[in-house]
Chains A and B, each alone.
Chain A
C-alpha cells in the first residue's frame, strides 16, 4: 500500500525555522517527483514546492522562494521541507504528495499524506 506520513509540524515563533519530513512507503520512491502543498481555510490549497525523483531541479511558489528548501533522501525514502524565516501567513496544514507519473514532474497529485499542522505565532 502506498503511504506517505508527514511529521515535524508544530508551533514556531515568527522568524523561526522548522523542518518537515515525509516518510514514503509502498512504491519506488526515487522514481517519482514529490510535492509539498499547504492548506488554510482562508487561502485554500496552495502548491508550495516540487522536487524530481533524482533530487534535481526543485521548484518553489513565489510565496516561499528563498525561505523554503525542498530536499529528499532516496536511501531513506524521505522527503523534507526546510522552512526558514517563517511568517504568520505560513500557518497551514502541510501535505506531501506523490506525483502520478514516473516520467518527470506532471503536477498530478496522486497520493497525499495525512498532513502536519504548522502554526507560526508569538
Chain B
C-alpha cells in the first residue's frame, strides 16, 4: 500500500494567518491526491480533489498544489470555522489516508 505522511500532526495559528500542511506519498501518485476537512463529530468533507481542484461550494481560501510525491494544502487566511482536522488521501491505488493535521486557533 502507498503510505501517506502528513505534517504537522497539529498546529495552532491566529485568525488571518496563512496555514500550510504537507503530505508526502511513498511513491509517485501523479495528481491523485485529495484533501478532506473533518470537524468534531462529523464526517469528512471533500475540499480539494486531483491535487488542486476546489470542490464546489468550498471557500477559495483553501488551495492545494503538488504532484508526484509531494503535496501542499494551504489556508490563505485562517478563519474560526476552519478549526478541524485535515486529511490527505491518495486514490492512485488502494486509497490510503494521511494521519491528519489538527488545526486550532491560537
Partners in one complex: yes
Task: Give the B-binding residues of A (Cβ under 8 A).
Answer: 35, 37, 44-47, 59, 61, 95, 100, 106-115
Contact assessment for B46 and A100 in the assembled complex, using a CB-CB cutoff below 8 Å: yes
Residues of B within 8 A of A107 (CB): 32, 89, 91, 95
Task: Give the A-binding residues of B (Cβ under 8 A).
Answer: 32, 34, 36, 42-46, 49-50, 55, 87, 89, 91, 94-97, 99-100
- Contact partner, B44, options A46, A100, A108, A109, Cβ 8 Å: A109
Taking chain B's interface residues, is the majority helix, strand, or loop, or is none over half, making it mixed? loop
Q: How far is the CB of B10 from the nearest CB of chain A, in Å?
A: 14
Contact assessment for B96 and A47 in the assembled complex, using a CB-CB cutoff below 8 Å: yes
Contact assessment for B45 and A44 in the assembled complex, using a CB-CB cutoff below 8 Å: no
Contact assessment for B45 and A45 in the assembled complex, using a CB-CB cutoff below 8 Å: no
Contact assessment for A108 and B43 in the assembled complex, using a CB-CB cutoff below 8 Å: no
Residues of B within 8 A of A95 (CB): 43-44
Complex: how many Å from CA A109 to CA B32? Answer: 12
Complex: how many Å from CA A5 to CA B45? Answer: 15
Residues of A within 8 A of B87 (CB): 44-45
Contact assessment for B97 and A45 in the assembled complex, using a CB-CB cutoff below 8 Å: yes
Contact assessment for A100 and B49 in the assembled complex, using a CB-CB cutoff below 8 Å: yes
Residues of A within 8 A of B32 (CB): 107
| Closest residue of A by beta carbon distance from B55 | A110
